[in-house]
């Protein structure tokens, strides 16, 4: 900002960074608005320090003191035909004109290098009153870029603000336009929303919007479970589960998807009790399909599907059972599975609360197993693939299969995790095979 001002131009910190600083949060992105046009910015900083990220729309990225800072010329925008970027941009010399094109008032504040706030649209008042309000006419803002609908919900979920009445009406009225938005943009906003502290309020208040991007949730809404273990319908139960689990991406996604297949599996017994046989696998399949369509990364997709497909598996309160499950899932996934089970139980009726003590006991057993450095993974096994190769066993999948068999024997307590003992078992297996 100082460099631009020393060259005779205006420069202000704008957007989310200003909002975060006012709220006492740490900004991660820094955007500068200026009356300098891109060519002038390039001349000031030198073209070797400039990335022309959006020069057509007045934006260049300046590489400055190990940071990437977006610098955008004040502008007035035309129509958004592609629902993402304006067709035409007219550069302006007025900061006041520039802020009027922004999405929400809380994102339309500017700050001088000395920390003075410039507020043309009562953004400060909305921050103080914890209100999310569209800049200008709400419907027009959402039509320009429908992703703003999800952005508004993300801010409600993360900040705990309330959406102003007319803005809320526009979010509901224009949510059908979300089909114009790329899957990647929708997914990033949704994940941010899902990891917000106030996500439950958003999911319940805007279930119609969530249903536009994930139609599979619609049959969950109002789906009575007809089961004494449940006090909520399937959708309300899902929201409670999401609320009760730590705000980590994989955990929140697993909670969101864990019962999505229930409406497809519902059956009513002769006693009037509802059942959802096989819903775990169906839910995992739906979750995997949705995440694939939204181009989620492979690791997240598979981690979530693993948790969803196994969220109802029994775990006996014994060291042997816990070691078997640690062997099956690994430490991280087993820990995540326990957290999903706890959140799931908390979202059921009081009849299910007794399981919470069971999960705590299982967790303590797992901690004990880890503390004792007990064998529950191939990393702990007293022999390796190299030992098997030294015995003359051919390189290939057979080595892994043999090691896995030995691991299960150790985990079950059938044999000691001792190199000599394990090698003797291998030799015996080879003799019997021949």
Give pLDDT, residue 313.
96
**Is the pTM value of this prediction over 0.75?**
yes
Per the prediction, the chain carries an average pLDDT of 94
Q: What is the phi-psi region of residue 16: left when phi exceeds 0, alpha when psi lies from -120 to 50, beta otherwise? A: alpha
Give pLDDT, residue 434.
61
- In three-state form (DSSP H/G/I as H, E/B as E, the rest C), the secondary structure along the chain is CHHHHHCCCCEEEECHHHHHHHCCCCCCCCEEEECCCHHHHHHHHCHHHEEEEEHHHCEEEEEECCEEEEEEECEEECCCCCCCCCCCEEECCCHHHHHCCCCEHHHCCEECCCCCEECCCCHHHHHHCCEECECCCHHHHHHHCCHHHHHHHHHHHHHCCEECHHHHHHHHHCHHHHHHCCHHHHHHHHHHHHCCCCHHHHHHHCHHHHHHHCHHHHHHCCCCCCCCCCCCCHHHHHHHHHHHCCCCHHHHHHHHHCCCCHHHHCEECCCCCEECCCHHHHHHHHHHHHHHHCCCCHHHHHHHHHHHHHCCCCCCCCHHHHHHHHHHHCHHHHHHHHHHHHHHHHCCCHHHCHHHHHHHHHHHHHHHHHHCCCCCCCCCCCCCHHHHHHCCCCCCHHHHHHHHHHHHHHHCCCCCCCHHHHHHHHHHHHHHHC
Contacts of 13 (CB under 8 A, 6+ apart): 1, 30, 31, 32, 110, 111, 112, 113
Per-residue pLDDT tens over the stretch 266-287: 999 999 999 999 999 999 999 9
Asked whether the predicted pLDDT for residue 192 surpasses 80, the reply is yes
| % of the chain exceeding 70 in pLDDT | 98
Asked whether the predicted pLDDT for residue 78 surpasses 80, the reply is no
Per-residue pLDDT tens over the stretch 362-376: 999 999 999 998 999
Average pLDDT over residues 241-270: 97
Asked whether the predicted pLDDT for residue 84 surpasses 70, the reply is no
Cβ(166)–Cβ(128) below 8 Å: no
Per-residue pLDDT tens over the stretch 35-65: 999 999 999 988 778 888 888 888 999 987 7
Give pLDDT, residue 90.
87
Instruction: Tell me the domains of the chain and their CATH numbers.
Output: 1-126 (3.30.460.10), 130-213 (1.10.110.30), 215-372 (1.10.3210), 385-433 (no CATH)
C-beta atoms surrounding 200 within 10 Å? 17
Q: Residues 228-236: contacts with CB within 8 Å, 24+ apart?
A: 228/273, 228/349, 228/351, 229/348, 229/349, 229/351, 229/352, 230/348, 230/349, 231/348, 231/349, 232/347, 232/348, 234/259, 234/262, 234/263, 235/207, 236/204
Give pLDDT, residue 319.
94
CA distance 234 to 221: 7
Q: What are phi and psi of 9, to 5 degrees?
A: -115, 160
Q: Compute the radius of gyration of the chain from its Cα atoms.
A: 28
Of the candidate ranges 72-81, 348-357, 360-369, 420-429, the one whose mean pLDDT is the lowest: 72-81
Cβ(344)–Cβ(258) below 8 Å: yes
């Amino acid at each position: 900002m100082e460099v631009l001002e020393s060259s005779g131009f205006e420069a202000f910190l704008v957007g989310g960074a200003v909002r975060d600083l006012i709220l006492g949060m740490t900004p991660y992105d820094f955007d500068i608005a200026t009356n300098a046009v891109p060519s002038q910015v390039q001349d000031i900083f030198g073209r070797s320090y400039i990335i022309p990220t959006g020069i057509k729309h007045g934006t260049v990225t300046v590489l400055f003191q190990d940071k990437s800072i977006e610098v955008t010329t004040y502008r007035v925008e035309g129509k958004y035909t592609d629902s993402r970027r304006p067709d035409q941009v007219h550069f302006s010399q007025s900061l006041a004109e520039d802020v009027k094109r922004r999405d929400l008032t809380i994102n339309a504040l500017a700050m001088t290098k000395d920390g003075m706030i410039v507020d043309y649209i009562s953004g400060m008042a909305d921050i103080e009153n914890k209100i999310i309000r569209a800049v200008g006419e709400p419907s027009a803002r959402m039509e320009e870029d429908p992703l703003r609908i999800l952005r508004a919900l993300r801010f409600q979920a993360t900040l705990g603000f309330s959406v102003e009445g007319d803005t809320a009406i526009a979010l509901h009225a224009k949510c059908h336009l979300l089909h114009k938005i790329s899957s990647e943009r929708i997914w990033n906003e949704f994940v941010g929303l899902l990891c917000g502290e106030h996500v439950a309020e958003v999911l319940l208040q805007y279930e119609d919007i969530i249903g536009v991007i994930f139609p599979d949730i619609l049959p969950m809404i109002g789906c009575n479970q007809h089961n004494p273990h449940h006090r909520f319908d399937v959708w309300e139960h899902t929201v409670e589960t999401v609320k009760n689990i730590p705000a980590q991406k994989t955990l929140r996604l697993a909670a969101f998807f864990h019962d999505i297949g229930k409406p497809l599996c519902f059956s009513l017994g002769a006693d009037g009790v509802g059942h959802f046989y096989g819903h775990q696998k169906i839910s995992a399949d739906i979750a995997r399909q949705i995440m694939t369509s939204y181009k989620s990364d492979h690791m997240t997709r598979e981690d979530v599907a693993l948790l969803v497909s196994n969220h109802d598996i029994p775990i006996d309160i014994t060291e042997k059972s816990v070691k078997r499950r640690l062997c099956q899932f690994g430490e991280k996934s087993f820990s995540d599975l326990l957290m999903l089970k706890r959140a799931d139980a908390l979202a059921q009726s009081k009849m299910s609360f007794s399981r919470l003590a069971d999960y705590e006991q299982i967790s303590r057993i797992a901690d004990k197993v880890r503390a004792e450095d007990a064998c529950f993974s191939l990393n702990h096994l007293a022999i390796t693939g190299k030992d098997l190769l030294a015995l003359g066993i051919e390189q290939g999948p057979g080595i892994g299969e043999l090691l896995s068999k030995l691991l299960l024997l150790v985990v079950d307590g059938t044999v000691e995790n001792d190199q000599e003992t394990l090698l003797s078992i291998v030799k015996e297996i080879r003799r019997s095979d021949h």
